[in-house]
Amino acid sequence: MQSDTWMLGDMAVSRIGFGAMRLTGSTAFDDRDAVPSDRARVTAVLRRAVELGVNHIDTAAFYFSPLRSANELINSALAPYADDLLIATKVGPARDASGASYAARPDQLRGHVEANLRQLGRDHLDLVYLRRMTQSSIAEHFGALAELREAGLVRHLGVSSVSLDHLAEAQAIAPVVAVQNRFSVDVHPGCDVLEACGAQGIAFVPYFAIAGSKREAGADPAGAQDERIQQVARVHGVTAAQVRLAWTLAHGPHVLAIPGTGDLAHLEQNIAAGRLRLSGEDLAALEGVGDGESTGTGGAAAGNRG
């Protein structure tokens, strides 16, 4: 079981969830040449994740590859859904039938929300993020989602790839329960959004926590990891990916992780990382890894005590 939980909206979720993109066989958002994943294998991964206590799954209608859709895989593996399972999805980026990506207009968001509803087999979505693309203001897009929330198609709203100004802009329109930004041990720009979320009781859900600078391509093999990560991993007898996840969770009780995998062994390792507690010495050793700006150990140590 997971080490602890956080209230995401009005649902308590385990702090290690599951990201669905890699279920399809894709290694990138708009990967049109992906080899379709093995259906039986990824179905087993989804069901095992729930057995191990995962009750927060992050997905999107634009997570698809030839012959595979993450939403359809989730539906076929897990429906009828458990009452305590929260499925989060996101809109903003989109893909046409050929797989080509584009940025959705505000008037297209209802159709994209409805596509998620159909694929997941639900009459409402628990949590929908607006993933900001290149727009400087998110008010029009977020306003369109707020209307869908009022209509009952969406229960809770989040924002992704945002600054503090974007977060405030959204909050002036409707409540925000979660922020999904890029954040990892080796790529962590200023932590102002993370800290603001903690102060306001908003979940902070990093993406690429394991992959780091590799992004959609996945985690580096152990030999390619920074020596400081490998050293901490050796001390604890764990993998580099588990150290990355533990470092992420150490930044506060409001920080959730959504590692994705299509492999049962990796799934169990990811879940186990929720029980790994890094010491102050470990966190200090990991300062300065990669090219990102350091966030300091103070917040991490405090989060570790939580």
User: Catalytic positions, please?
Assistant: 63
- Let me know: does 24 contact 36? Beta carbons within 8 Å: yes
Residue 34's nearest CA partner among 66, 74, 72, 69 is 66
Interior/surface letters 155-184, b for 16+ CB within 10 angstroms, e for the rest: bbbbbbbbbeebbebbeebbebbbbbbbbb
* CA-based nearest residue to 216, from 103, 71, 62, 77: 62
Contact 287, 297 (CB under 8 A): yes
What is the spatial distance between Cα 167 and Cα 161, in angstroms, rounded to a whole number?
A: 10
Buried b (16+ CB within 10 A) or exposed e, 249-274: bbbbbbbbbbbbbbeeebbebbbbbb
Which residue shows structure tokens 């102050």? 280
Q: How many CB atoms lie within 10 A of CB 84?
A: 12
- Are 180 and 205 in contact by the 8 Å Cβ rule? The answer is yes
Q: Which residue has the tokens 């799934």?
A: 267
